[in-house]
Amino acid sequence: MKLEYREKIEKIAALGESLGAEIIYNEPLSRHTTVKVGGNCDLFIKAPDSKTAARIYFACKDIRLYSMVLGNGSNCLFSDGGFRGAAIVSSDSKSEIEIEGTLIKAPAGALLMNVCKAAQQAGLSGMECLYGIPGTVGGAVYMNAGAYGGEIKNITVGVEAMEADGKVRTFTADELSFGYRTSRFERSGEIIISATFGLKSGSRDEILEKMEELIQRRKSRQPLEFPSFGSAFKRPEGTYAGLVIEQSGLKGRKFGGAQISPKHANFIVNLGGASASDIMGLITMAQKEVLEKTGYSLEPEVRLIPVSQEEDR
C-alpha cells in the first residue's frame, strides 16, 4: 500500500471515528452482500445514520479516495480482489421511520422490509408489492425497485439527498427521473438521505394478508433458500430475462460454485463457496448464449463494482 493511499485511508478513518462511525479494516465484503461473495475492503465504515454516511462519502471524494455508499448489498457484485477504498453503510434504525397521516418517511439506510412492516402496522397501503425486496430504502429509490407490477416510483413523493457541497436538498417526485430500474441518482452524484412515500389508508389485516400472499409467491417461484442478488438481469423489451435464458437452455447451468437457478432462470445463486469470478462467468455465458440463440441482449441488473478506480495502489 503506497504512502499517499495509506494516508488517505487513515484520514477518512479518523473522520469517521470523530463522527461516531465504526471503522473496520480489511473487511470481507462477502459478509455484506446477499449473494455472499466479494473480497476484502480496505476500509469499511458503519456510519450512525444516512447523513453521516453521505458526509464521509463526499470527504472521500474531496481527497480522491475511491468510495461508495453500500445499502444492503442485494444488487452488488464485488470482485474477488475486493475494494481498494472505502465502503460506507448507514445503520438501519427503525426508530427513525416517521409516519404522519398517510405519509411515511424513512432514512436511506432503513431496510425496505421494515418500512413495509411499519406501513402495515399503521394501516397504510401501497407498499405491499415491495415487501420481500431485500434492499434498503436508498438502494430501492436509487434503482427504482419494483415487483409484481409495482415500482417504488409510484409511491415516492419526495427524496432528501446531499449534494457535493454538503447541502441537503429535497427533490419532488417530478425531479427524480425515474425509469425502469433507474433514477436521477445513478447519474447526478447526490447521495440519498431519506425518502417520503405517499400511501392510502387501509385495513391492517388486509394489508398483512396481501404481504403474506406475495411472500408465499416469492418462496414458491424464487430460490430464496440460496444466496443471490435477486434478479440478475433487467427485463429485455418485449420479453422476460428468465424466459430467454431458459429458452437458451441455460436453466440449471453451473460455473464453479454458482448456478443459474433451476427454479427461476433470472436468479444466479451461490450454492456454497462461489466466487465472484464464478458468477461473472455465468453472467457472461448467459449474455453470449442468449444473444446467439434468441437475439436479445441481456443487461445486468446487478451493479458490477470495480476493485479500484485508480492505478497507484
Instruction: List, for residues 142-181, the tens digit of each pLDDT value.
Output: 999 999 889 999 999 999 999 999 999 999 999 999 999 9
Distance of alpha carbon 249 from alpha carbon 14, whole angstroms: 52
CATH of domain 223-305: 3.90.78.10
The ranges of the chain annotated as CATH 3.90.78.10 are 223-305
pLDDT in tens, 22-43: 999 999 999 999 999 999 999 9
Alpha helix segments (H runs only) across the chain: 3-18, 50-62, 112-121, 137-142, 185-188, 204-221, 241-247, 276-294
**Cβ pair 158, 55 in contact under 8 A:** no
Q: How far is CA 241 from the centre of its chain?
A: 19
State the pLDDT at residue 189. Answer: 92
Q: Collapsing DSSP states into helix, strand and coil, what is residue 264? A: coil
Q: What is the pLDDT of residue 96?
A: 85
Please give the grid coordinates belonging to residue 71: 445499502
Find the helix or strand (DSSP H, E) in which 269 lies.
Answer: strand 268-270
- Portions of the chain given CATH number 3.30.43.10: 3-90
CA pair distance 271, 155, nearest whole angstrom: 36
Burial 29-41 (b: 16+ CB within 10 A, else e): bbebbbbbbbbbb
How many other C-beta atoms are found inside a 10 Å radius of the C-beta of residue 265? 25
Q: Tell me the C-alpha distance between 35 and 137, whole Å.
A: 19
Q: According to the model, what pLDDT value does residue 84 have?
A: 96
Compute the average pLDDT of residues 264-280. Answer: 97
94-220: which CATH topology? 3.30.465
Q: Which residues are catalytic?
A: 181, 231, 301
Contact 231, 222 (CB under 8 A): no
The span from the CA of 308 to the CA of 66, in Å, is 7
User: Is the domain defined by 3-90 classed in CATH 3.30.43.10?
Assistant: yes
CATH 3.30.465.10 intervals, the chain: 94-220
Residue 94 pLDDT: 62
Kindly state the average pLDDT of the residues 253-259. 97
